[in-house]
Amino acid sequence: MGSGSEYIKQRFAEEGIAVTDRQAASFERYYELLVETNKVMNLTAVTEFKEVVGRHFVDSALITKYYDFSSVNKMIDMGTGAGFPGIPLKILYPHLSVTLLDSLRKRVDFLRNVVDNLGLKQVTAVHGRAEDFGRDPEYREAYDLCVSRAVANLSTLSEYCLPFVQVGGFFISYKSGTVDEELEQAKPAIKMLGSKTKKVEKFFLEDAGRSMILIEKKEKLSGRYPRKAGLPSKQPLK
């Protein structure tokens, strides 16, 4: 095992997360594919090895300290970008059936290459908009869990993500900085979408404040949501 894999194991261990040699090797290969593709496509502003491990891999995985992933079967990562947090979570929990959704086809092509290179099973990368997929019977209320590190206000993200979650399941939003005001503003939207904020976990990682908002789906979604493409971002629910 190379020094890169050793560092990965060490860095995860510092956060109380055990990583096997095989998983560490998968993360190292993922890093190689990421920085190589990043030369021709804008996937990440962070490319230094240790920074990627901390800010992307470990950050993606920290939710496992607050949520029981052994009970999750089907998960969707909305607005996955370069695969965060979906691919790190799949590496750590191989039993997961994962859908990676992104609106840019080039990123989806990259994700499919990563999935093939790492030999990940039960992972599908799909190209499209959350508003469209959230109305598709194959995806609507079909998942135990929706995760997202996408950058948008919580009202908008909730309308993107909660349509995918079955009753009793969760949407987990990864956020930077303080979220109290944003959470308060999103309360009406979360209620309209048949859901309720269960808890908010706050911590520091790589000297930056992070929050994870866990929202539980309490009842089936009204047929009004999600609204047509573009509206959730232009006119967030209030």
User: Which residues fall in the annotated binding site for S-adenosyl-L-methionine?
Assistant: 79, 84, 130-131, 149
- 143-148 vs 74-78, strand pairing mode: parallel
Distance CA 67, CA 122 (A): 21
Centre a 10 Å sphere on the Cβ of residue 208 and count the other Cβ atoms it contains: 12
User: Which residues fall in the annotated binding site?
Assistant: 79, 84, 130-131, 149
